[in-house]
Amino acid sequence: MKSLLLGIAVSVIALAGLAVAGTMDQEEAMMDREKTMTAKAIFAGGCFWCMEADFEKLDGVIDVVSGFTGGTLKNPTYNGNHAGHYEAVEVTYDPAKVSYRQLLDHYWVNIDPFDDGGQFCDRGHSYLAAIFVANEAERKSAEASKRAVIEMFPGEKVVTPILDTSTFYPIKGEESYHQDFYKKSPVRYKLYRWNCGRDQRLKEIWGDKASH
């Protein structure tokens, strides 16, 4: 009888172990599927507060993170040294809901593509607009979208460059208040955006296409 009970106990433990392992395998498989169902894209368009807010309202966008990219300096910071870097956002999105080309179309109507000195009231290299591409497919899409903008404004010079993706450094630590700033400090954000002339200039360029 003891042997029988021991055998049953061992079997139960073994089955429980298999069940746990099976659950873990299912969770890992689900995480892998979620990763394959999402993609990332990087854009610079002046103040990352504004770019983050503009992209997060787009259906199919899962998350937007503010940070720096495009430079050679490692671990740039907002209050410290970020020379050579662009203020940028990393957009995580679901390609089944929004395509990379749609992200590009949304990007263009949220920047001034003719400004070679910054964006709106913000001047200097870190505020320049740029599209960062991770592969040839993204480059082709970005170039096609840029051609469309050039054709839309034959009398203007579109200066926004298409650059290879480099390391993206998210704003973090003591400076993490920059993430979702438009949600954390909505009044200050709206005052900044208006006083900077961003929406006024976007309306001037894009008319009703301006997404604000």
Other Cβ atoms less than 10 A from the Cβ of 74: the count is 7
Question: Is 121 one of the annotated active-site residues of the chain?
Answer: no
CA dihedral 44, 89, 60, 94 (to 10 degrees): 100
Residue 66's SS3 state is: strand
Which one of 47, 50, 121, 196 is the catalytic residue? Answer: 47
- The residue type of 106 is H
Q: Which residues contact 114 (CB under 8 A, 6 or more apart)?
A: 153, 156, 157, 158, 159, 205
Other Cβ atoms less than 10 A from the Cβ of 169: the count is 19
The partner residues of 131 in beta bridges, in order of sequence, read: 43, 162
Do the Cβ atoms of 168 and 90 come closer than 8 Å? Answer: yes
Residues noted as catalytic: 47
